[in-house]
């Protein structure tokens, strides 16, 4: 499969999943959240990386790094939940939640937990 065709295939499959989850969220938010909580991006990335490289060592490193990046990203979700409940405007809530994520990344980097 050519690189351009592979890229287009990845974009279409990934886009369909994201669009499906966002549409499902309007009707069944709990089920959409479950699908979102699954490591869909990681799962798809692992498939694409394997198809392109067949490099299990790279997949191992990538998976380990994803695991450690999940930890500071939890600060984003905690902040977002709190800020959305306080009814702050969406853009402000997203901005402050992103700052919380950034702070978590900086702390983890300082503690050398993210390599």
pLDDT digit string (tens) for 15-52? 898 899 899 999 998 888 878 777 778 888 899 899 99
For residues 25 and 32, is the Cβ–Cβ distance under 8 A?
yes
Residue among 39, 50, 49 nearest 17 (CA): 39
C-alpha closest to that of 76 among 49, 51, 98: 98
Q: Let me know whether 47 and 79 are in one domain.
A: no
Indicate the DSSP class of residue 38. Answer: S
Same domain, 9 and 36: yes
Residue found under tokens 């969406």: 90
pLDDT digits (tens, 9 = 90+) for 42-84: 888 899 899 999 999 999 999 988 888 888 889 999 999 999 9
> Count of domains in the chain?
2
Q: In whole angstroms, what is the distance from residue 61 CA to residue 59 CA?
A: 5
Answer yes or no: do 107 and 78 share one domain: yes
Token representation of residue 77: 């979700």
């Amino acid at each position: 499969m050519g690189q351009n065709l592979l890229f287009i295939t990845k974009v279409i499959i990934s886009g369909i999943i994201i669009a499906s989850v966002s549409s499902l969220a309007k009707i069944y938010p709990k089920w959409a959240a479950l699908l979102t909580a699954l490591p869909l991006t990681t799962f798809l990335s692992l498939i694409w990386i394997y198809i392109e490289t067949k490099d299990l060592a790279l997949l191992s490193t990538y998976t380990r790094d994803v695991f450690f990046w999940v930890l500071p990203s939890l600060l984003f979700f905690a902040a977002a939940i709190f800020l959305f409940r306080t009814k702050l405007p969406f853009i402000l809530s997203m901005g402050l939640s992103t700052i919380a994520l950034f702070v978590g990344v900086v702390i983890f980097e300082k503690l050398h937990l993210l390599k």
